[in-house]
Homo-oligomer: A and B are copies of this chain.
């Protein structure tokens, strides 16, 4: 059924980095889909934006006089990307016109196709696309979010759905609502997501095309995928091939594993029925890392984007709380990472600098009597003997402040070994600390998440 072929992979660029975008079904009303996409693009897109709708001529939108064109052929240039946000029936004619005008990339946001039983309309759409060699994203999708150039077809205002800052993670989502929720959440967690794409009914473009293309996008270091299931066997084969040839890690969270949920997934995205075991085998064959939920998907993706792949066998634990240290050691041991006692020479060195009540064996418990600088000293001395560190930065006691962040970052710079931070709290000071750390390190709120992150760093070695 797929329109795409490998020679047309360069067209994927037009979906992510077009120089010009035309929105067909644009409107001055920001609560309509076409109107909201127009506002988002006028607000942030670094390229030329054209509004297409025969009902309007010139309208003031987002403080600018915006000219509306009556159709694609009236535009001053052939737009590199067309976004169709009209009813399904109208969309077919627009695609025909786009194809005739020489457009090669079209996002069909419009719903009303296979997902409501109108397979006929969807087949017609594909037929038109094939005739003109046009590639399609969708239909029935929320399309693309590109934080690098402001391309954003998500048709939701930021009060409803926050957008993350640019960063090294690309997110491919089989569900539009999951993509929206994840980006909103990532914004709050200060996770940098550079590019996100939702495929909707995936009538043409799927994960495989994007994975292949993202290999050449330097800013993207990791590809994170939310998947319910492939639709055809060929889909799965192209996915494996794309992942294998990509020189970047791919992390997948596959939902629809259990009996009740497979039924739901089939009705949701027409996902290929199939045992979860089959998917696991396939992921293993492709060299994909699996996550158990959306939070873990992004924990692992962020870790792989920030840290060098390393097999972690021994870890240092540094904590201002003996209790949190104990919990972290439990979690590390549970995934097979040991927390070995430091050698005598290291402990003697530590005793010179740490508070007299501190324990120096590993975990290093600075206790409530320590100060910011002791985190730095503990890491500086201890990191030499291990592959990575987990730091419980509970800065509530009087001697600690948000400057613990700087102490941790200095040692991270020096050794280049992965440091994961466990933070627990909501006070002003703790929030400042987290903000300072999140751009450079993985910061989590439970020991189990920290342990999983470290064990995933060696998953592809």
Contact of A257 among B178, B324, B330 (CB under 8 A): B330
Q: A177-B324, A293-B447 are in contact. Are A188 and B425 (CB under 8 A)?
A: yes
Mark A171-184 against chain B: 1 for CB-CB distance below 8 A, else 0.
00111111011101
Asked whether A326 is an interface residue with its Cβ less than 8 Å from the other chain, the reply is: yes
Tell me which of A182, A295, A322 has the highest count of chain B C-beta atoms within 10 A of its own C-beta: A322
Bound-state CA distance A341–B294 (Å) is 26
Give the copy number: 2
Contact B116–A161 (Cβ < 8 Å): no
Stretch at the interface among A48-56, A125-133, A232-240, A391-399: A391-399
Asked whether A343 is an interface residue with its Cβ less than 8 Å from the other chain, the reply is: no
Bound-state CA distance A2–B359 (Å) is 27
Contact of A178 among B156, B173, B324 (CB under 8 A): B324
Contact of A160 among B260, B326, B334, B427 (CB under 8 A): B427
Contact B258–A424 (Cβ < 8 Å): no
Contact B326–A395 (Cβ < 8 Å): no
Asked whether A206 is an interface residue with its Cβ less than 8 Å from the other chain, the reply is: no
* Minimum C-beta distance from A363 to chain B (A): 5
Contact A396–B264 (Cβ < 8 Å): no
**With a CB–CB cut-off of 8 A, which chain B residues contact A264?**
322, 325-326, 329, 339, 359, 363, 365
Bound-state CA distance A265–B329 (Å) is 10
Contact B425–A181 (Cβ < 8 Å): yes
Contact A321–B177 (Cβ < 8 Å): yes
Q: A326-B261, A425-B184 are in contact. Are A295 and B446 (CB under 8 A)?
A: yes
Asked whether A259 is an interface residue with its Cβ less than 8 Å from the other chain, the reply is: yes
Instruction: Give the residues from 380 to 404 in chain A that come closer than 8 angstroms, CB to CB, to chain B.
Output: 394-398
**With a CB–CB cut-off of 8 A, which chain B residues contact A294?**
327, 424, 446
Contact B357–A156 (Cβ < 8 Å): no
Mark A319-340 against chain B: 1 for CB-CB distance below 8 A, else 0.
0111111110110111000111
**With a CB–CB cut-off of 8 A, which chain B residues contact A357?**
111, 115-116
Asked whether A61 is an interface residue with its Cβ less than 8 Å from the other chain, the reply is: no
Bound-state CA distance A320–B359 (Å) is 51
Bound-state CA distance A447–B397 (Å) is 34
Asked whether A68 is an interface residue with its Cβ less than 8 Å from the other chain, the reply is: no
Asked whether A361 is an interface residue with its Cβ less than 8 Å from the other chain, the reply is: yes
Contact A293–B228 (Cβ < 8 Å): no
Tell me which of A187, A321, A427 has the highest count of chain B C-beta atoms within 10 A of its own C-beta: A427
* Minimum C-beta distance from A164 to chain B (A): 9
**With a CB–CB cut-off of 8 A, which chain B residues contact A184?**
396, 424-427, 430
* Minimum C-beta distance from A66 to chain B (A): 21
* Minimum C-beta distance from A288 to chain B (A): 18
Bound-state CA distance A324–B257 (Å) is 13
* Minimum C-beta distance from A260 to chain B (A): 4
Contact A255–B429 (Cβ < 8 Å): no
* Minimum C-beta distance from A314 to chain B (A): 10
Asked whether A19 is an interface residue with its Cβ less than 8 Å from the other chain, the reply is: no
